[in-house]
């Protein structure tokens, strides 16, 4: 078996299609945090813009209660998820591989319109294409932190408010928070649109719900999964 | 929000003696208006109870001819009371504000109601806790002149009359009053109830509820909805439960307010110096373990308790004056003064909308206060102030406060706009001689130039002889009529555009404020995103379903 593994792990020459199999690429935890984060961000966006006075869907007190509670829930989720990313080394998926970027951009600008295949195919090691990882990375290191950092400072206003004066106080915090919330909305909207660009309109969404996608597996990966994580392979 | 207090029968018919049929019998000015009936079992705080039965004291058997005779009897036991009362503003009507240095007190100020007590003591000093103050010769050192009974009578049979005769037209005032049985009153003294304090304080400005908007006869027997503290069916607090005292010095004067009490409860029983909410409720009265409670406790650092907990002014069925125009005073019909009563307040009582002796009034009730930053200091426009008439309306009292100052909080106020007589040449407010049986008193001769000349002469102040009318505004802090907590002002009434705090500056108020251009930018970016997506999707679909298509586009 040792010999098999070492032999199989030899990287197959590029361009040679590998057998495709239905594999669980999003683990249960990933799906859980993806969807609960989606729900929380939706709740936060609605209640946050209600606090902001953008619309009068709910009264201010309710909006504050919902927003603050959802914010705390989201922070807890993020702490767990960050921990999870580092313990499972899943964080590597976010490392942007800029070499693939031009091809992906070309695809979204033109190829996708005429039905070209995606220049990138998911592998077990890399679930995200170059543009995706760049987008998610900016989400996770810029928009997300800007929101939660300013949000926590905002939430703690009663604790520091008495020392803050003028522009250095709440206005700056609210500015960052609101601007990041705007960016978040744009990210989410584009993100949702992108989910319709799979093989079928709902392919990506289904994948994120079931966790399974059909991807090319190198013989080594296939063997590894058969041996160590057989539950991730769909019974075919 | 109907309060359930019964209308107290009016003992005094305070109409002036001319043309009595033209004036309905209302409690407008001129007398300690309605005689308020005593309310039993009021809660006066730590002093409640008592250890002496005054009917048993030899000294109180009488007979007494006058109130002063009773006072002398009181002082035989309460031998420090005289000294103590003489130090209180109830006696001195004189107050030097330690923070602003201004000389205030009813003896000195000019307001925008009946303007000045000074020079009209014969009438106005009915609400002085002493007997016989008619002019500057009053002896402030004579203890026998103290009126103990006005505050301590618990029979509701004691009353006060003006200290001097007014004009002949006031002749029928106070007719047909039952003589006071002084011995009966003296033997039935007790701690002051709301009716005692209310005799004067409910009638500030010249009648029930006129001045303050949060102090009127509806507080004699308030419902819970009107006032949680004084509610007869609730804690039934007497005024002195909050307005604590030591040696007859009563806490909580409007002349020197504590706008932000950071001491709170203090040591048990220690706080005899303030009438703040915090002195009973502490500085963090909301539930500490709830998110909203936590936020509200911190709101209390910048927002006075009253701002949320007194949602509206004058909720008890008694209206308050919001606008007064002296410039129309003195109109006569057939040479006689008259009154119009075109406002009917919620309890059904009609109120003066015009009165020859005072001019035109506007009333309001159950209305939203005005909110301002307040640090407890009020700077008064006094008789010495050179008035800048470009400022209109001229504030009679400027509410001091600053959003950057931790001692300032957002407070509710009732504002009154008044056109008052003034001297436009010397640019000063004027003393008006309203009361007297001489021919210069306005309430008799209806000649303002004459009465103001007399008032200024009495004060040895210059008067140019030209009389004008000045647009003024005064601010009355609102602190009574605390509503049940369920009726407190909701968050959204301030945290919204054009809400209650629309005029408050210096703070970022979520829900009210924003960065206009950021919102615009956000909306533009969002629209562009959606438009881009729509365009992309449209082209995608058109190509996908070959609505537009060229074979050479087929991917290799
Ligand atoms: C960890 C995440 C977050 C925290 C800790 C947080 C915290 C806060 C706090 C404390 C407020 C002030 C109102 C209140 O007390 O509820 C607020 C307001 C707001 N939040 Fe968040 N928030 C977070 C995430 C978000 C997200 C994801 C969005 C939108 C996509 C958002 C949008 C807004 C908006 C628009 C406001 C109103 C700003 C204003 O006008 O004052 N927030 N947030």
Cβ separation B512–A53 shorter than 8 A: yes
Residue A98 has pLDDT above 50, yes or no: yes
Q: How many CB atoms lie within 10 A of CB B363?
A: 20
Q: What is the pLDDT along chain B (556 residues), one digit of tens a residue?
A: 333 333 333 223 333 333 333 333 333 444 444 467 888 888 887 777 778 899 999 999 989 999 999 999 999 999 999 999 999 999 999 999 999 999 999 999 999 999 999 889 999 999 999 999 998 899 999 999 999 999 999 999 999 988 888 887 765 556 677 889 999 999 999 999 999 999 999 999 989 999 999 999 999 999 999 999 999 999 999 999 999 988 999 999 888 899 999 888 888 877 878 899 999 999 999 999 999 999 999 999 999 999 999 999 999 999 999 999 999 999 999 999 999 999 999 999 999 999 999 999 999 999 999 999 999 999 999 999 999 988 889 999 999 999 888 899 999 999 999 999 999 999 999 999 999 888 999 999 999 999 999 999 999 999 999 999 999 999 999 999 999 999 999 999 999 999 999 999 988 999 999 888 999 999 999 999 999 999 999 998 888 887 877 787 777 6
Q: Which residues of A touch B554 (CB under 8 A)?
A: 114-115
Which residue in chain B is spatially nearest to A162 when comparing CA positions? B406
User: At which residue do the structure tokens 């050479």 appear?
Assistant: B552
Interhelix angle A170-194/A130-138, rounded to 10 degrees, is 160
Q: Helices (DSSP H) in B332-447: which residue ranges? A: 442-445
Query: Shortest Cα distance from A116 to chain B (angstroms)?
Result: 5
Report the DSSP beta bridge partners of residue B336. B333
Model confidence over B55-99: pLDDT tens digits? 999 999 989 999 999 999 999 999 999 999 999 999 999 999 999
Q: Measuring CA to CA, which residue among B146, B133, B127 is closest to residue B79? A: B146
Buried residues in A59-71 as b, exposed as e (16+ CB within 10 A): bbeebbbbbbebb
Residue A115 has pLDDT above 80, yes or no: no
Q: Does some domain include residue B528?
A: yes
Question: Residue B22: its pLDDT value, please?
Answer: 33
Q: Does some domain include residue B326?
A: no
Model confidence over A157-198: pLDDT tens digits? 888 877 776 556 888 999 999 999 999 999 999 999 988 887
Model confidence over A13-32: pLDDT tens digits? 556 667 788 888 888 888 99
Give me the number of domains chain B comprises. Answer: 1
Determine whether B527 is exposed, middle or buried from the number of CB atoms within 10 Å of its CB (0-12, 13-18, 19+). exposed
DSSP letter string over B273-338? S---SHHHH-S--S-TTSHHHHHHHHHTTTB-HHHHH--SB--SS--EEEEEEGGGTT--BTTB--
Mutation target to probe the A interface, by most A beta carbons within 10 A, among B522, B530, B533 is B522
- Tokens, residue B373: 């930053």
Q: Does some domain include residue A78?
A: no
Calculate the alpha carbon distances from A161 to A156, B334, B403 in Å.
8, 66, 12
Dist. CA B127–CA B111, nearest whole Å: 16
Q: Which domain holds residue B527?
A: 517-553
Cβ separation B526–A116 shorter than 8 A: no
Calculate the alpha carbon distances from B326 to B103, B194, B354, B417, B472 in Å.
26, 32, 10, 11, 11
Give me the number of domains chain A comprises. Answer: 1
Q: Which residues of A touch B298 (CB under 8 A)?
A: 157-158, 161
**What is the three-class DSSP state of B339?**
strand
Contacts of B275 by beta carbon, 8 Å cutoff, 6+ apart: B242, B243, B244, B251, B252
Does the beta carbon of A65 lie under 8 angstroms from any beta carbon of chain B? yes
Which residue among B301, B406, B554 places its CB closest to the CB of A114?
Answer: B554
Dist. CA B479–CA B411, nearest whole Å: 9
- Tokens, residue B40: 């039993």
Question: Residue A207: its pLDDT value, please?
Answer: 87
Dist. CA B478–CA B381, nearest whole Å: 20
Model confidence over B384-402: pLDDT tens digits? 999 998 888 999 999 999 9
> What value does the mean pLDDT take over residues A34-54?
94
Q: Does some domain include residue B527?
A: yes
Q: Helices (DSSP H) in chain A: which residue ranges? A: 2-8, 28-52, 60-88, 101-106, 112-114, 130-138, 144-155, 157-160, 170-194, 203-210, 219-228
Q: Does some domain include residue A31?
A: no
CA of A177 to the centre of ligand 1 (A): 7
Cα-based angle B347, B349, B354 (whole degrees, multiple of 5): 135
Report the DSSP beta bridge partners of residue B43. B237
Cβ separation A53–B529 shorter than 8 A: no
Q: Which residues of A touch B518 (CB under 8 A)?
A: 175, 178-179, 182
Mutation target to probe the B interface, by most B beta carbons within 10 A, among A45, A48, A52, A53 is A53
Cβ separation A193–B514 shorter than 8 A: no
Q: Does some domain include residue B523?
A: yes
CA of A151 to the centre of ligand 1 (A): 6
CA of A38 to the centre of ligand 1 (A): 15
Q: Does some domain include residue A79?
A: no
Q: Does some domain include residue B74?
A: no
User: At which residue do the structure tokens 């008032």 appear?
Assistant: B455
Q: Does some domain include residue A55?
A: no
Q: Would you say the CB of residue A146 lies under 6 angstroms from ligand 1?
A: no
Q: Would you say the CB of residue A181 lies under 6 angstroms from ligand 1?
A: yes
Q: Does some domain include residue B41?
A: no
Residue A234 has pLDDT above 70, yes or no: yes
**What is the three-class DSSP state of A147?**
helix
Q: Would you say the CB of residue A143 lies under 6 angstroms from ligand 1?
A: no
Q: Measuring CA to CA, which residue among B252, B390, B226, B230 is closest to residue B315? A: B226
Q: Which domain holds residue A182?
A: 2-25+89-227
Cβ separation B508–A158 shorter than 8 A: no
Q: Does some domain include residue B537?
A: yes
**What is the three-class DSSP state of B345?**
coil
Q: Which residues of A touch B287 (CB under 8 A)?
A: none
Residue to mutate (ligand 1; options A77, A147, A184, A187; most atoms within 8 A of CB): A147
Contacts of B552 by beta carbon, 8 Å cutoff, 6+ apart: none
Q: Does some domain include residue A203?
A: yes
Question: Residue A132: its pLDDT value, please?
Answer: 77
Cβ separation A61–B492 shorter than 8 A: yes
Q: Are B440 and B454 in contact (CB under 8 A)?
A: yes
Residue to mutate (ligand 1; options A38, A41, A45, A51; most atoms within 8 A of CB): A51
Q: Which residues of A touch B539 (CB under 8 A)?
A: 113
Cβ separation B511–A68 shorter than 8 A: no
Interhelix angle A28-52/A60-88, rounded to 10 degrees, is 150
Which atom of ligand 1 is least distant from the CA of A64?
16
Chain A segment 68-97 residues within 8 A of B by beta carbon are: 68-69
Q: Measuring CA to CA, which residue among B83, B64, B84, B76 is closest to residue B186? A: B64
């Amino acid at each position: 078996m040792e010999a098999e593994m070492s032999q199989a792990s030899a990287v197959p020459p590029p361009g040679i299609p590998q057998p495709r199999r239905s594999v669980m690429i999003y683990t249960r935890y990933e799906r859980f945090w993806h969807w609960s984060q989606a729900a929380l961000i939706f709740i936060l966006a609605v209640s946050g813009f209600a606090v902001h006075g953008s619309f009068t869907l709910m009264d201010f007190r309710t909006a504050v209660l919902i927003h603050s509670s959802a914010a705390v829930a989201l922070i807890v989720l993020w702490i767990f998820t960050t921990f999870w990313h580092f313990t499972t080394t899943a964080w590597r998926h976010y490392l942007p591989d800029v070499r693939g970027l031009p091809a992906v951009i070309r695809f979204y600008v033109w190829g996708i319109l005429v039905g070209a295949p995606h220049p990138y195919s998911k592998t077990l090691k890399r679930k995200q294409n170059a543009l995706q990882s760049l987008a998610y990375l900016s989400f996770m290191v810029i928009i997300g932190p800007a929101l939660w950092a300013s949000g926590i400072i905002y939430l703690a206003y009663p604790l520091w408010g008495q020392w803050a004066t003028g522009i250095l106080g709440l206005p700056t915090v609210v500015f960052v928070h609101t601007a990041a919330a705007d960016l978040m909305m744009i990210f989410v909207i584009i993100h949702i649109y992108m989910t319709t660009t799979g093989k079928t309109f709902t392919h990506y969404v289904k994948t994120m719900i079931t966790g399974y996608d059909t991807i090319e597996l190198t013989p080594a990966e296939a063997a590894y999964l058969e041996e160590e994580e057989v539950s991730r392979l769909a019974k075919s | 929000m109907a309060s359930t207090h019964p209308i107290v029968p009016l003992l005094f018919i305070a109409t002036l003696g001319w043309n009595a049929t033209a004036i309905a019998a209302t409690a407008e000015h001129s007398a300690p208006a309605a005689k308020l009936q005593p309310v039993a079992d009021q809660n006066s705080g730590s002093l409640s109870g008592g250890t002496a039965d005054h009917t048993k004291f030899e000294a109180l058997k009488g007979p007494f001819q006058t109130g002063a005779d009773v006072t002398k009897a009181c002082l035989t036991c309460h031998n420090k009371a005289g000294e103590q009362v003489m130090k209180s503003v109830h006696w001195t009507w004189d107050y030097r504000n330690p923070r602003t240095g201004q000389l205030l007190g009813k003896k000195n100020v000019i307001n925008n109601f009946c303007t000045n007590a000074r020079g009209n003591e014969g009438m106005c000093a009915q609400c002085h806790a002493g007997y016989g103050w008619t002019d500057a010769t009053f002896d402030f050192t004579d203890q026998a002149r103290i009126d103990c009974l006005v505050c301590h009578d618990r029979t509701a049979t004691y009353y006060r009359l003006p200290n001097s005769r007014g004009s002949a037209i006031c002749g029928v005032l106070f007719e047909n009053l039952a003589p006071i049985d002084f011995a009966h009153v003296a033997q039935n003294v007790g701690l002051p109830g709301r009716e005692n304090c209310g005799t004067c304080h409910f009638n500030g400005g010249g009648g029930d509820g006129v001045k303050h908007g949060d102090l009127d006869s509806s507080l004699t027997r308030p419902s819970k909805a009107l006032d949680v503290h004084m509610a007869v069916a609730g804690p039934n607090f007497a005024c002195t439960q909050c307005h604590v005292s030591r040696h007859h010095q009563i806490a909580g004067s409007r002349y020197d307010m504590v706008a932000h009490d950071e001491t709170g409860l203090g040591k048990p029983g220690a706080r005899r110096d303030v009438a703040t909410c915090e002195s009973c409720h502490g500085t963090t009265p909301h539930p500490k373990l709830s998110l909203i409670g936590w936020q509200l406790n911190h709101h209390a650092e910048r927002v006075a308790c009253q701002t949320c907990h007194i949602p509206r002014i004058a909720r008890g069925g008694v209206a308050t004056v919001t606008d007064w125009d002296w410039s129309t005073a003195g109109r006569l019909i057939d040479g006689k003064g008259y009154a119009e009563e075109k406002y009917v307040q919620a309890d059904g009582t009609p109120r003066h909308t015009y009165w020859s002796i005072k001019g035109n009034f506007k009333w309001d009730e159950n209305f939203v206060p005005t909110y301002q930053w307040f640090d407890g200091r009020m700077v008064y426009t006094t008789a010495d102030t050179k008035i800048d008439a470009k400022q209109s309306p001229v504030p009679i009292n400027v509410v001091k406060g600053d959003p950057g100052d931790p001692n300032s909080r957002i407070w509710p106020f009732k504002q009154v706009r008044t056109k008052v007589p003034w001297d436009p040449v010397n640019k000063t407010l004027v003393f008006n001689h309203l009361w007297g049986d001489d021919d210069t008193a306005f309430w008799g001769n209806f000649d303002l130039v004459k009465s103001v000349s007399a008032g200024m002469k009495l004060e040895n102040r210059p008067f140019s002889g030209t009389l004008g009318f000045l647009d003024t505004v005064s601010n009355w802090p609102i602190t009574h009529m605390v509503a049940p907590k369920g009726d407190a002002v909701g968050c959204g009434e301030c945290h919204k555009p054009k809400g209650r705090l629309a005029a408050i500056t210096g703070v970022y108020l979520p829900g009210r404020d924003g960065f206009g251009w950021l919102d615009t930018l956000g909306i533009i970016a969002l629209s562009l995103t959606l438009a881009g997506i729509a365009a992309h999707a449209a082209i995608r679909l058109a190509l996908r379903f070959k609505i537009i298509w060229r074979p050479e586009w087929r991917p290799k």
